[in-house]
């Protein structure tokens, strides 16, 4: 039995558990966790966008909230101002984040390490303050709230986000598709070009890899993933606000990624799940709960530098004797 097949089996089990969560949680009479789980899926998707850049291409972005925000406002403005349906509004959100990433990426990918991190923060701060200022478009401090259009409306078949289970399955479907796409990407020639650029950009260029172009492609895809997460988040809250464009949101995505395991497929989502659960459980009990988050993150970074998923893979390799 290989580590790969163990992980595949576990992923399948996780998927089954996630699909079955609504009736399962209902049966255990803890329905309120379904909404938390929906949120975890969305934040896990945002973390995966930071991971695509950091874990796969080696670029540390502290600005993914910007593209998250474009996805979020794209949906809110699409529905509230243009009267779009749910799917076209999502399309607008994703297109906006892709476009923004395509432009910002032209500048950002010329830089690496802390310079790259700084420019990504700077971009996101500019648009954060713009979002606060442009009240007629974004609603400023108050944000934009809207009524969510139905997911599907085919005569007698009508699916809406108003039902928690439907909303959860809708988010799950899209998040699973986004992760499947990332799995596909990792296994492709482009995924290997990402790895080459991460492992040694000079060597990569000497082999014929256009490093800037590869980084730009990753930047745009990551922007699109963050935008998708933002679009889902707006639909989930029926609300868009500049708060979720602030750089602390980007920072959380990085912390989730590092904690869960940068470079692994599911690590970022695992990190997001863990820290959101800690928050949910502790924030009501103890106001200084971020201390625990900090301690947990430091412990993982010290004892498992490759994060939870990385540590798991290492252990698996040892147990299976390789």
Partner 1 sequence: MSVLELEGVSRQFGGLRAVDGVTLSIGSGITALIGPNGAGKTTLFNLMSGLLPVSSGRIRFRGQDITKLPAHRRAKLGMARTLQIKQVFAGLTVLENTWIAARQRHRPLDPFRPAANDRATRAAAEAALETMGLEAMAGRQAGSLAYGDIALLEIAMALATQPALLLLDEPVCGMSPSETERTVARIRTLSATTDVVIVEHDMDVVFGLADRVVVLAEGRVLADGPPAVIAREPAVREAYLGEDEEAA
Residue 90 burial (10 A CB sphere; 0-12, 13-18, 19+): buried
List of residues contacting partner 1 (CB under 8 A)? 184-185, 187-193, 195-196, 198-200, 202-211, 213-214, 217
CB of 150 to partner 1, least distance (A): 32
Nearest Cα residue to 127 out of 118, 115, 138 = 138
CB of 282 to partner 1, least distance (A): 36
Q: Are 67 and 97 in contact (CB under 8 A)?
A: yes
Where would I find the beta strands (DSSP E) of 57-165? 144-145, 152-154, 157-159
Token pair of 296, please?
Answer: 């947990």
Crossing angle of helices 33-51 and 64-80, in 10° steps, is 130
CB of 207 to partner 1, least distance (A): 5
Q: Which is nearer to partner 1, 137 or 209 (CB)?
A: 209
Nearest Cα residue to 245 out of 142, 117, 144, 128 = 128
CA–CA separation, 141 and 189 (whole Å)? 44
Q: Which is nearer to partner 1, 88 or 200 (CB)?
A: 200
Q: Which is nearer to partner 1, 41 or 217 (CB)?
A: 217
CB of 307 to partner 1, least distance (A): 15
CB of 275 to partner 1, least distance (A): 26
Q: Which is nearer to partner 1, 191 or 290 (CB)?
A: 191
Q: Which is nearer to partner 1, 104 or 220 (CB)?
A: 220
Token pair of 272, please?
Answer: 């997001």
Token pair of 238, please?
Answer: 């029926």
């Amino acid at each position: 039995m290989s580590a790969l097949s163990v992980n595949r089996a576990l992923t399948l089990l996780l998927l089954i558990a996630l699909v079955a969560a609504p009736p399962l949680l209902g049966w255990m009479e803890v329905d309120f966790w379904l909404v938390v789980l929906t949120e975890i899926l969305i934040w896990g998707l945002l973390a995966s966008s930071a991971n695509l850049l950091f874990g796969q291409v080696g670029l540390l972005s502290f600005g993914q909230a910007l593209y998250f925000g474009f996805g979020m406002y794209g949906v809110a403005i699409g529905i509230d101002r243009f009267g779009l349906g749910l799917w076209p509004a999502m399309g607008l959100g994703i297109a906006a984040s892709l476009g923004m990433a395509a432009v910002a990426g032209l500048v950002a990918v010329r830089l690496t390490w802390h310079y790259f991190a700084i420019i990504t923060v700077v971009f996101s701060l500019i648009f954060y303050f713009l979002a606060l200022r442009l009240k007629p478009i974004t609603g400023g401090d108050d944000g934009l709230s809207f009524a969510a259009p139905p997911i599907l409306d085919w005569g007698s078949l009508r699916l809406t986000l108003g039902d928690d289970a439907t909303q959860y399955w809708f988010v799950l479907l899209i998040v699973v598709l986004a992760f499947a796409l990332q799995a596909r990407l990792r296994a492709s020639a482009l995924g290997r070009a990402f790895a080459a650029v991460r492992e040694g950009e000079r060597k990569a260029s000497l082999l014929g890899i256009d490093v800037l172009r590869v980084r730009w492609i990753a930047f745009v895809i990551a922007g699109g993933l963050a935008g998708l997460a933002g679009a889902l988040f707006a639909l989930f809250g029926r609300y868009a606000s500049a708060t979720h464009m602030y750089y602390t949101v980007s920072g959380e995505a990085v912390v989730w990624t590092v904690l869960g395991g940068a470079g692994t497929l599911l690590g970022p989502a695992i990190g997001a799940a863990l820290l959101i659960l800690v928050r949910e459980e502790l924030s009501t009990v103890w106001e200084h709960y971020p201390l625990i988050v900090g301690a947990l993150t430091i412990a993982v970074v010290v004892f498992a530098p490759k994060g939870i998923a990385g540590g798991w893979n290492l252990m698996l390799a040892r147990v299976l004797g390789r």
